[in-house]
Amino acid sequence: MLPEAVLLQAQQEMLDWQGTGMSVMELGHRGEAFQRVAAETESDLRDILAVPAHYKLLFLAGGASTQFAMVPLNLLANNSAADYIDTGIWSKKAIGEARRYGDVNIASQRVTRDGWAAIPPQAEWSLNPKAAYVHYTANETIEGIAFPYIPTTGDVPLVVDMTSSILSAPLDVSRFGIIYAGAQKNLGQAGITLVIVREDLIRDPLPFTPTLFSYKVEAENHSFYNTPPTYAWYMMGLVAKWVKREGGLAEFAKRTQRKSTKLYSYIDSNADFYRNTVHPTYRSCINIPFNLVNEALTETFLIEAAAAGLTNLKGHKLAGGIRASMYNAMPEAGVDALVTFMQAFALKYG
Amino acid sequence: MLPEAVLLQAQQEMLDWQGTGMSVMELGHRGEAFQRVAAETESDLRDILAVPAHYKLLFLAGGASTQFAMVPLNLLANNSAADYIDTGIWSKKAIGEARRYGDVNIASQRVTRDGWAAIPPQAEWSLNPKAAYVHYTANETIEGIAFPYIPTTGDVPLVVDMTSSILSAPLDVSRFGIIYAGAQKNLGQAGITLVIVREDLIRDPLPFTPTLFSYKVEAENHSFYNTPPTYAWYMMGLVAKWVKREGGLAEFAKRTQRKSTKLYSYIDSNADFYRNTVHPTYRSCINIPFNLVNEALTETFLIEAAAAGLTNLKGHKLAGGIRASMYNAMPEAGVDALVTFMQAFALKYG
């Protein structure tokens, strides 16, 4: 989902970007015009996220799955040990790719305790103090489980996949070695990934790394080693300006909190009909999966919801059930409409 | 450059694709709506390019530079010998990346004969009959040099970078093992690459290949192993439909021929003022670089051309001089305007 204001601006500028008579799609990436798009996007994102000066921003083709390979390829050249926290499907994908390049230790894993899905507290993790890095997934979109804190890993660099949660709340970038986020959730359109990398982690990668997969090459070339996804970069810039106009990350944290609280409160107070099984401490405020206690009603729920204009509620194929997402572009009225529908549905079938 | 009709359609559909009430950027890539976009794009491209059934079409994130790595990573697993033809800057980039993964033999190289840049005839090449493949660049955008024929390589698969020439003329796909083309020239916007690969070449890649760089993984997943660059894919689809509407590749071959002949004829008949040094047999009909005989006038030429509305004429930084490009979206009137300007400029300064 994208903010309407952003789509309207993209629409208006489609054939003529700022009086150039050209679409952003037609701007040469090395030309003065696109350089401005690129530089403004970076400076707006640095501003919003309060990125310290010793971090580089990279704008790379592809999605987060590309980073599943780039992280180990770039960080395991001198030390092949990596710690991963396994909290769900996305963690597992990152782990699968990392195992191809190094010795992966699963330092902790999602558990079910007293019927609740949870992330074990850090005291229970088996971190390797000599690991090249610790990787975790801030928010698991499919299971609806998220970290309510930033892990503490001492001198071991912390790497995080923030594809689904970036720009949803203020962030202390200085706690991380690398933050990466595919753009298609809160940063614009699919096909580009933002990577925020601490300068001391930019080193020679494993020798067989494709040139374009080297953070060093990309950083030295300001993400212009080859033609970058220019239009997706531009869209990210429009989104960044929209986030600023709307009040920045503190404002989006409030909105996300309000939206998710509304839905969780309703679900929890109607536990005979709807159920979310993630422990409240570890619940995602971005992706809220839930089930109908009478699972036979799921299909009916989805059909009637769609008829009421509520689409994209089907749970991931690996999880089933229902899932509502609270990305920045989703207005509060959308949650209100969903809760209203859920009330009527429970009344009708309860 | 993109066709105005394509940009207008993208503009019109920006907030509502075919009555869905959603932008293509917002469509889930696994949903029925985007699946239709993807399938139609593929079927239109198969139609236009007359792609035989035993070839797969892949729609991959990134540009042609990604293929500089993917080709050797995927084709050198069982045979590390590859032949490359070096005709210019783009060939050299492909060669540089391939050397990291195999034994590259430069089977032939651009030459200067009697003052003309030329590609040696195939009889002079030193092809290795046991090579895993032969790679060449159909059109060198910077030097303006192109193959007027498809090389014959017997049983050795032929791999071609067609980024700048795809869709500019009918193509006998069956002569190739792999054809790849970054989209930003004749296929839409930067950030996606079309790869046409003969099925028997889809095999296990070198063991350290990133999962997303495996043709096999991408083919098995219909380019949906992870979220693809959906909007760039959609734009490629709009371009494909436009090419069909305009009359297909035979029509674009005629237009390209007419446009380039006009400019070359004018340059050649004013050799005391303008000069192109590529042998006529090997001249690109897509990118036409030329110099002013009095090179001191180059800057003035570019400034006065821009003032007359003729932009993007600066030669690549590695070549200098002037360069005019004849991509499909460039109307014939653009060449007429350029030639008219060149006549006036020669009169003024000649």
- B157-187 pLDDT tens trace: 999 999 999 999 999 999 999 999 999 999 9
Contact A85/A107 with Cβ under 8 angstroms?
A: yes
CA A291, CA A277: separation in Å to the nearest integer? 9
Instruction: Report yes or no: B206 at the A interface, CB cutoff 8 Å.
Output: yes
Q: Which residues of A touch B182 (CB under 8 A)?
A: 227
CA A168, CA A218: separation in Å to the nearest integer? 27
Give B148 to chain A, closest Cα distance, Å: 27
Average pLDDT score over residue span A182-187: 95
Identify the pLDDT of residue A188. 96
Q: Note whether A212 contacts B62, CB cutoff 8 Å.
A: yes
What's B51's DSSP letter? -
Identify the pLDDT of residue A275. 97
Q: Is the pLDDT of residue A318 over 90?
A: no
pLDDT greater at residue B146 or residue A29: B146
Q: Supply the mean pLDDT for chain B.
A: 97
Q: Is the pLDDT of residue B225 over 90?
A: yes
Identify the pLDDT of residue B214. 98
> What H or E segment, with its residue span, contains residue A11?
helix A4-13
**Is residue A90 annotated as a catalytic residue, yes or no?**
yes
Q: Which residues of A touch B181 (CB under 8 A)?
A: none
Q: Is the pLDDT of residue A1 over 90?
A: no
State CA B276 to chain mean position distance: 21
Q: Identify any residues that bridge with A143 across adjacent strands, giving them in sequence order.
A: none
Identify the pLDDT of residue B317. 85
CA A129, CA A127: separation in Å to the nearest integer? 6
Q: Which amino acid is at B333?
A: A
Residue B339 pLDDT class (50, 70, 90 cuts): very high
Distances (CA, A) of A308 to A25, A259, B22: 37, 19, 16
Q: Is the pLDDT of residue A198 over 90?
A: yes
Identify the pLDDT of residue A350. 87
Distant-in-sequence, close-in-space partners of B221: CB < 8 Å, separation ≥ 6: none
Taking each helix axis as running N to C, give the angle between helix A248-268 and helix A230-246, from 0 to 180 degrees, rounded to the nearest 10: 80
Q: Supply the mean pLDDT for chain A.
A: 97
Q: Which residue has the tokens 């390019």?
A: B49
State CA B70 to chain mean position distance: 17
ipTM above 0.90, yes or no: yes
Q: Note whether B210 contacts A73, CB cutoff 8 Å.
A: yes
Give A227-278 pLDDT, tens digit per residue: 999 999 999 999 999 999 999 999 999 999 999 999 999 999 999 999 999 9
Measured from the Cβ of residue B254, the count of other Cβ atoms closer than 10 Å reads: 12
Identify the pLDDT of residue A317. 85
State what percent of residues in chain B have pLDDT above 90.
97
Identify the pLDDT of residue B133. 98
Q: Which residue has the tokens 């970007």?
A: A17
Residue B263 pLDDT class (50, 70, 90 cuts): very high
Identify the pLDDT of residue A34. 96
Q: Which residues of B touch A101 (CB under 8 A)?
A: 208
Identify the pLDDT of residue B318. 86
**Is residue A92 annotated as a catalytic residue, yes or no?**
no
Q: Is the pLDDT of residue B311 over 90?
A: no
Q: Which of A28, A182, A227 sits opposite B63 (nearest CB)?
A: A227
Q: Note whether B26 contacts A229, CB cutoff 8 Å.
A: no
Q: Is the pLDDT of residue B240 over 90?
A: yes
Which of B90, B233, B242, B259 is the catalytic position? B90
Identify the pLDDT of residue B18. 94
Coil, helix or strand at residue B64: helix
Q: Is the pLDDT of residue B312 over 90?
A: no
Identify the pLDDT of residue B261. 98
Give B71-114 pLDDT, tens digit per residue: 999 999 999 999 999 999 999 999 999 999 999 999 999 999 99
Q: Which of B70, B73, B231 to mutate to test the interface with A (most CBs of A within 10 A)?
A: B231
Coil, helix or strand at residue A22: coil
Q: Which amino acid is at A303?
A: I
**Is residue A336 annotated as a catalytic residue, yes or no?**
no
CA B80, CA B78: separation in Å to the nearest integer? 7
What's B157's DSSP letter? P
State CA B22 to chain mean position distance: 32
Q: Is the dihedral of CA B184, B190, B195, B196 positive or negative?
A: negative
Q: Domains in chain A, please, with CATH?
A: 4-246 (3.40.640.10), 248-349 (3.90.1150.10)
Q: Is the dihedral of CA B315, B321, B322, B325 positive or negative?
A: negative
Identify the pLDDT of residue A312. 87
Q: Identify any residues that bridge with B197 across adjacent strands, giving them in sequence order.
A: B56, B178
Q: Which of A6, A14, A25 to mutate to test the interface with B (most CBs of B within 10 A)?
A: A25
* A residues 127-156 lying closer than 8 A (beta carbon) to B: none
Q: Identify any residues that bridge with B159 across adjacent strands, giving them in sequence order.
A: B135, B178
Q: Is the pLDDT of residue A71 over 90?
A: yes
Contact A323/A315 with Cβ under 8 angstroms?
A: yes
Measured from the Cβ of residue B274, the count of other Cβ atoms closer than 10 Å reads: 21
Q: Which of B8, B142, B189, B242 to mutate to test the interface with A (most CBs of A within 10 A)?
A: B189
Complete DSSP assignment for B114-144? TTEEEPPPGGG----TT-SEEEEESEETTTT
Return the closest-CA partner of residue B138 out of B96, B199, B69, B185.
B185
Q: Is the pLDDT of residue B282 over 90?
A: yes
